[in-house]
Structure 1
Amino acid sequence: MTSARRTVHGTTIGIIVLDTAFERLPGDIAHAETWPFPVQFRVVRGVRPADVIEGDASLALAAFHEAIDDLVSLGARAITTSCGFLAAVQDELTRYSPVPFFASALLQIPLIERSLPAGRRVGLVVSDANALQERHFRNVGAEPGLPIAELPADGPIRANMRDNAQQVDRAAQERDALETVERLLAAHPDVGAIVLECANLPPYSDAIARRFGLPVYDIVTLVTWLHNALVPPRYRV
């Protein structure tokens, strides 16, 4: 059997990135230094975060199909995205993609729920709680009703994303994330693990875990797990 023609080599993970212009920091899904392994980025031009979060993501399926085709042609063996709200079209994109497709960090919820001690629940940090609907949970195999805290609309993280800030204050954004988690835990002391929906939040996962002493799951933990499955470590005999 002859292998398919390929232009780019050595990439395992493809990342579909929404059309944004704000500064991304190491840890963000669309910052190359986040990844200890090669990734291939593909921007869906004209599809903005608001189109996915506030609008109907299914209207952009054709753009995502084209991105999947491009990434697969470049050798991607699995694909993910840069917005947790694309959980809304997880099933549609999985049906289309010829390789494993992981739309959202929220996909980790069912596994985490089964790992927690009795009486503990998963808590979510999201960029827009009003936009999180039943279909987002259904498409990742989770039940709605989990404790949720949203980043404040006028806080630095959401404001910088909304305004496509060319430079961001990392310390201010970290405080924004920590304060959001603090509100979550004050309202729901039974939270035993945190899932960060927003793919721009992993730069602050370490600070969250150290401050609150809880496991933190985000899009980076999901993609790293996926990569390790596709390229298992080699052990010395």
Structure 2
Amino acid sequence: MSGFIGVLMLDTAFPRVVGDAGNVDSYPFPVRLRVVPGAGSTDIVQGAAPPAALTAAFIDAARALEAEGAVGLVSTCGFLVHIQAELAAAVRIPVMLSALSLYPTLRLTCGDRPVGILTASRQSLLAGGLSAAGIDPAAVHVAGIQGCRAFADAILKRKEDQPDTLDVDAIGAYCTGLAAGMVAMEPRLACFLLECGNLPPYAAAIRQATGRPVYGIGDAAALLWRGAHG
């Protein structure tokens, strides 16, 4: 098969384990990673769009991947939903920067049952991320993993302060406990949507702990790939 899915990456130093949006082995089809210099976690995980210069850098990277043969584009950070429309208008291939863009479809499949969203930063998502994605806050239940030290100390830091190791067991346990608690509080939760591209490694554990379907940016990438190749 020709082509590949382009993955726009934040400029980070922590390990990208299998399942993470920034690891090529997370995908069952060809992908090509493109780091956007200067786009750190602390710059992008915010309640508003990144500065104009960073947005321009993402557009440049997107156009470069398109020129190299990308058939679709995703990213490693769901908070890039803030520039989804601008970036999609800058290229001629399908773009889904954030797993949050899957929400309208999930909402339709769930009837009137709420969707649970796990995010890297609850405060930032409520401050602007949901609005940028066109999501009604009253229709979802949001929980953030910013309180997990193993996650925050590795990922929600400036690049120069990020470690070269990742405690996946601690992060996984935190995510599954958080999701299970959400279901206990709201048994009507229909499914989980992972805003953060670092969370798919724990999707299977969340699924097992809650009995609910779990969706992330990998599903968006698969949708774009299937659209190009059937």
Scaled by the length of structure 2, what TM-score is found?
0.90
For residues 51-98 of structure 1, give each alpha carbon's deviation from its aligned partner in whole angstroms, at most 9, with x where no partner exists: 111364143111011101110111011111110011111111112122
Distance, in Å, in 1 between the alignment partners of 2:221 and 2:67 is: 20
Which residues of 2 match residues 61-140 of structure 1 at below 5 A? 61-118=55-112, 120-133=113-126, 135-140=128-133
Q: Does the Cα contact within 8 Å between 2:5 and 2:72 map onto a contact in 1?
A: yes
Distance, in Å, in 2 between the alignment partners of 1:229 and 1:121 is: 28
Give the CA RMSD over aligned residues.
Answer: 1.8
User: In the alignment, which residue of structure 2 is the partner of 1:23?
Assistant: 15
Q: Given the superposition, is the C-alpha separation of residues 154 and 137 from structure 1 closer, same or farther in structure 2, using an over 3 Å criterion? A: closer
> Structure 2 counterpart of 1:25, which letter?
V
Q: Given the superposition, is the C-alpha separation of residues 133 and 154 from structure 1 closer, same or farther in structure 2, using an over 3 Å criterion? A: closer
1:196 corresponds to 2:194: yes
**Which of 178, 181, 187 is 1:180 aligned to?**
178
1:157 corresponds to 2:151: yes
Q: Does the Cα contact within 8 Å between 2:84 and 2:96 map onto a contact in 1?
A: yes
User: In the alignment, which residue of structure 2 is the partner of 1:227?
Assistant: 225
Q: Does the Cα contact within 8 Å between 1:19 and 1:45 map onto a contact in 2?
A: yes
| Matched length | 223
Distance, in Å, in 1 between the alignment partners of 2:184 and 2:82 is: 29
Where relative contact order (Cα < 8 A, 6+ residues apart) is larger, the structure is 2
User: In the alignment, which residue of structure 1 is the partner of 2:24?
Assistant: 32
> Alpha-carbon deviation of 1:152?
3.5
Larger radius of gyration: 1
Distance, in Å, in 1 between the alignment partners of 2:133 and 2:91 is: 16
Give the secondary-structure state (helix, strand or coil) at the position aligned to 1:57: coil
Distance, in Å, in 2 between the alignment partners of 1:30 and 1:87 is: 17
> Structure 1 counterpart of 2:118, which letter?
V
Q: Does the Cα contact within 8 Å between 1:88 and 1:139 map onto a contact in 2?
A: yes
- Structure 1 window deviating more from structure 2 (143-152 vs 76-85): it is 143-152
> Alpha-carbon deviation of 1:156?
1.1
> Alpha-carbon deviation of 1:12?
2.1
Runs in 1 of length 4+ with deviation above 4 angstroms? none
Scaled by the length of structure 1, what TM-score is found?
0.88
Percent identical residues: 30
User: In the alignment, which residue of structure 2 is the partner of 1:53?
Assistant: 45
Q: Does the Cα contact within 8 Å between 1:149 and 1:183 map onto a contact in 2?
A: no
Structure with greater helix percent? 2
Distance, in Å, in 2 between the alignment partners of 1:134 and 1:100 is: 27
For residues 21-54 of structure 1, give each alpha carbon's deviation from its aligned partner in whole angstroms, at most 9, with x where no partner exists: 0011100011111111111111001110111113
Q: Unmatched 5+ residue regions in structure 2?
A: none
